[in-house]
């Protein structure tokens, strides 16, 4: 039993980190008042970019950095559409998602199923032998620690700095922020780009760190779960981090149960994360407290009053 829990917790980050990075990125974006539905596509683009570059250059670090840049670049297109051209955010998000999925599929086609040497866990001797939590805390790759750091960093940025104050103000009341001298469009563009970069990183983690291979449909709905996590987390990056680990733990349970031979109905088990997502959204809607925390200007393009 102890062995089961140790390895279950140890494999949780592999499932939790992509969700955590993507949902924290989305939290940042939504706090600036922009709803980006396309996380799935950004993650796919990041996963493919990281895998292909690691395969061809043999260096996972370059692959990860390239994935971050690719996610940010796709997000910039989205940002141009919704912030500058004031397009409908849902449609623009879905469109860039399709672009991300499409590019990942086409460019990644020759590299499918070719395994490579990805990011390795840090080797911390002795400590990883601690029962139960040892493997979770001390046998992980650098991105896991970085993700936790990003979570706290984002929280500090949003809640404790002037830059974060501006982002929040833009998401709540862009007209007042504008009058106060905040450059609304610039804030939103920065938040969107950073959010795309985090989604790209999330994808890179999937291909380079947790599976060391690129396959089609690698994201498998994680972008959508991340979107639901944002609501679950009440637009708080730390809660998004915690929520992602909760989801990750549920997902990680399935292969562990199979490994010890529990006769679980596989398709039902695979539905679990999605059922959990629906349950979370229902509870969030039911408790009715969504209104109190949802950025008031979320999804509404800001048009400055005419100035003659």
Partner 1 sequence: MSQGSPLLTLSAIDKSFDIHRVLNSVSFELARGEVHALLGENGAGKSTLMNILIGVYSADAGKLELEGKPLKISKPSDSARQGIGMVHQHFRLVDRLTLTENLLLAADDHPQLKSRAAAREALLSTAKEIGFTLNPDCQVGELSVAEKQRAEICKVLALGARILILDEPTAVLTDSEASSMLAAIRRMAESGRSIILITHKLREVVGFSHRVTIMRRGETVAAGLDTSDLSIEKISSLMMGSSSTSLSPDGINSKKAPGNIQEHGPDLLAISHLNARRDDGAPALTDVSLRVRAGEILGLAGVGGNGQHELTELLSGIRSASSGSVMIDGADALGLSPRQRRKLGLRVIPADRMASALVSDLSIAANLSLTSVVSGRFGRLWLNRRRIQREAQASIEQHEIAGARPSGRMGLLSGGNAQKVLLAREIDSGMKLLLAHSPTRGLDIRASALVHQRLREAAAKGAACLLVSEDVEEIMALSDRICVISAGKIMGELPGDASAADIGRLILGHE
Residues that bind partner 1 (CB under 8 A): 162, 165-166, 168-169, 172-173, 175-177, 179-182, 296, 307-308
Q: Closer to partner 1 at the Cβ: 120 or 183?
A: 183
**Within 10 Å of residue 198's Cβ, how many Cβ atoms?**
32
Longest dimension (CA), the chain: 73
Q: How far is the CB of 190 from partner 1 (least distance, A)?
A: 16
Q: Measured from the CB of residue 81, what is the shortest distance to partner 1 in angstroms? A: 24
| Nearer to partner 1 (CB atom), residue 89 or residue 187 | 187
CA pair distance 42, 101, nearest whole angstrom: 8
Contact 137, 127 (CB under 8 A): yes
CA triplet 238, 244, 247: central angle to 5 degrees?
Answer: 145
Asked if residues 170 and 187 have their Cβ atoms less than 8 Å apart, the reply is: yes
d(CA 207, CA 283): 32
Provide, rounded to whole angstroms, the least separation between the CB of residue 280 and partner 1.
Answer: 23
Q: Residue 231 Cβ, how far from partner 1 at the closest point, in Å? A: 17
In the complex, the smallest distance separating the C-beta of residue 172 from partner 1, rounded to whole angstroms, is 5
| Torsions phi, psi for 205 (to 5 deg) | -60, -45
Q: Output 122 or 180, the one with its CB closest to partner 1.
A: 180
At residue 74, what are phi and psi to the nearest 5 degrees?
-65, -40
Shortest Cβ distance from residue 124 to partner 1 (Å)? 39
What are the tokens at 18?
Answer: 């992509």
If the CB atoms of residues 84 and 163 are measured against partner 1, the closer one turns out to be 163
Nearer to partner 1, 42 or 235 (CB): 235
DSSP string, 60-91: HHHHHHHHHHHHHHHHHHHHIIIIIS---HHH
Of 182 and 249, which CB lies nearer to partner 1 in the complex structure? 182
């Amino acid at each position: 039993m102890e062995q089961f829990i140790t390895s279950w917790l140890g494999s949780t980050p592999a499932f939790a980190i992509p969700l955590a990075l993507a949902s924290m990125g989305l939290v940042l974006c939504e706090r600036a008042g922009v709803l980006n539905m396309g996380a799935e596509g950004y993650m796919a683009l990041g996963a493919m970019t990281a895998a292909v570059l690691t395969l061809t250059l043999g260096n996972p670090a370059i692959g990860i950095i390239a994935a971050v840049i690719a996610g940010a670049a796709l997000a910039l297109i989205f940002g141009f559409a919704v912030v500058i051209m004031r397009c409908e955010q849902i449609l623009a998000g879905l469109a860039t998602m399709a672009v991300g999925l499409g590019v990942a599929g086409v460019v990644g086609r020759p590299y499918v199923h070719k395994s490579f040497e990805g990011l390795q866990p840090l080797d911390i001797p002795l400590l990883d032998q601690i029962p139960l939590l040892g493997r979770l805390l001390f046998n992980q790759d650098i991105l896991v620690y970085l993700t936790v750091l990003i979570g706290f960093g984002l929280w500090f940025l949003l809640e404790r700095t002037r830059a974060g104050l501006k982002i929040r103000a833009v998401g709540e009341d862009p007209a007042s922020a504008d009058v106060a001298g905040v450059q609304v469009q610039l804030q939103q563009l920065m938040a969107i780009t950073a959010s795309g970069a985090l989604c790209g990183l999330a994808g890179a983690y999937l291909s380079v760190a947790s599976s060391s291979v690129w396959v089609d449909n690698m994201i498998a709905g994680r972008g959508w779960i991340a979107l639901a996590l944002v609501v679950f987390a009440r637009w708080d990056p730390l809660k998004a981090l915690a929520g992602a680990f909760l989801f990750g733990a549920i997902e990680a349970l399935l292969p562990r149960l199979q490994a010890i031979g529990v006769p679980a109905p596989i398709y039902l088990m695979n539905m679990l994360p999605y059922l959990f997502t629906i349950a979370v959204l229902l509870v969030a809607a039911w408790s009715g407290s969504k209104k109190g925390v949802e950025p008031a200007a979320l999804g509404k393009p800001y048009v400055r009053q005419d100035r003659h």
